[in-house]
Amino acid sequence: MNDNVDRIDDIVESIAPVLGMESIEKAAEPPEVQHPLVLEVKHVNGGYRTPGLIGRGKYHQVLFDVDFNIRHGEIMGLVGESGTGKSTLAKMILGMEKPEQGQIIHYTKRPQIIFQDPYSSLNPAYSVEWSLEEPLRVFGKYDEPERKRRVREMLARVELPEECLYAKPSELSGGQRQRVSIAAALIRRPRFIIADEPVSALDVTIQAQILQLLRDLREELDLSYLFISHDLNVVYQLCDRVLVMKKGRIVEQGTVDEVYDHPKEEYTKQLLAAAQ
Ligand SMILES: Nc1ncnc2c1ncn2[C@@H]1O[C@H](COP(=O)(O)OP(=O)(O)OP(=O)(O)O)[C@@H](O)[C@H]1O
Ligand SMILES: [Mg+2]
């Protein structure tokens, strides 16, 4: 399913210039065929297997019967204490780890991820321009002027000046670096973004700016997000719905207002009390 959707997107994108189509999004995804969901996670169990000398090694289950969906255009929060399995779930959605049981169904192009540490998506040895251009080079569909045009367009979308293109990641501020890694995630025009603690390393003022940018990009590029955070206040500001995870299980989910105003689970109450 995922691969087919990706392939069709790629074909449409590659023929769009030939047909003189200005907007690839318009050509690829007319609104009337848009699926109401971007993602379904169905009863997923999964974890890690330590390599064994004999057989498949020891299995450590991290996720237990995880079941939820994300609707088109929505920002879904995922909260829970450290080590509970949030990043493991992100890796499964991205296809970097396989569930032992259950299903993960994508209704959009392959999602992209924004990490807490922008260096995870940027090569410290190269300029920002190089890092942003690289996925397009690997993709192999665009000539150099088109790649440069796309890189500049994306840089403008994340509201960075052109000088940033020529800097190495270490020469930028933390907030600028995170804007670049958002641009890197968006350069292949995904429709669904997983953000794993994207503002946790930033101070409060810069956090607010990046959250505003994520909101604006949702509108401009018609994105949906899974937004992972320890910080319940940040999730309250940004998200439409929220999943509360405890020890690899979703113990509560609902709209942010429902869950924050009327938490059902003791664990959610504790998390909210700790965030006061
Ligand atoms: N590559 C791996 N191999 C084996 N075990 C792992 C691996 N990555 C994570 N784990 C284990 O899986 C469990 C969940 O980790 P995970 O990183 O998903 O938690 P998290 O909720 O993202 O935590 P944090 O909020 O600190 O980022 C932990 O017990 C962790 O030790
Ligand atoms: Mg994590």
Report the candidate in 77, 88, 40, 95 with the shortest Cα–Cα distance to residue 228: 77
Structure tokens at 71: 């609707």
The answer to whether 225 touches 90, Cβ cutoff 8 Å, is no
What dihedral do alpha carbons 256, 261, 264, 265 form, nearest 10°? Answer: 80
- Digits of tens for pLDDT over the chain (276 positions)? 444 445 545 554 554 444 444 444 444 555 556 789 999 999 999 999 888 777 777 899 999 999 999 999 999 999 999 999 999 999 999 999 999 999 999 999 889 999 988 888 889 999 999 999 999 998 878 999 999 999 999 999 999 999 999 999 999 999 999 999 999 999 989 999 999 999 988 999 999 999 999 999 999 999 999 999 989 999 999 999 999 999 999 999 999 999 999 999 999 999 999 988
pLDDT recorded at residue 139: 80
pTM of the entire predicted model: 0.87
Ligand 1 first shell, C-beta below 6 A: 48, 62, 80, 82-88, 230
pLDDT recorded at residue 57: 79
- Ligand 2 center to 129 CA (angstroms): 28
Which residues, 6 or more positions from 66, have their beta carbon under 8 angstroms from its beta carbon? 41, 43, 44, 45, 89, 102, 245, 248, 249, 250
- Ligand 2 center to 184 CA (angstroms): 20
- Ligand 2 center to 115 CA (angstroms): 9
Structure tokens at 63: 């996720």
- Ligand 2 center to 213 CA (angstroms): 22
The CA-based diameter of the chain, rounded to the nearest angstrom, is 58
Query: How distant, in Å, are the alpha carbons of 185, 191, 249 from that of 245?
Result: 25, 25, 5
Report the candidate in 202, 161, 204 with the shortest Cα–Cα distance to residue 183: 161
Cα dihedral sign, 196-201-205-206: negative
- Ligand 2 center to 2 CA (angstroms): 24
Which ligand has an atom closest to residue 78 CA? 1
Q: Indicate which atom in ligand 1 lies nearest the CA of residue 88.
A: 18
Q: Indicate which atom in ligand 1 lies nearest the CA of residue 81.
A: 25
Which ligand has an atom closest to residue 85 CA? 1
Which ligand has an atom closest to residue 66 CA? 1
Q: Is 214 exposed, middle or buried (0-12, 13-18, 19+ CB in 10 A)?
A: buried
- Ligand 1 center to 151 CA (angstroms): 33
DSSP-assigned beta bridge partners for residue 225 = 75, 193
Q: Which of 61, 82, 87 to mutate to test the pocket of ligand 1 (most atoms within 8 A of CB)?
A: 87
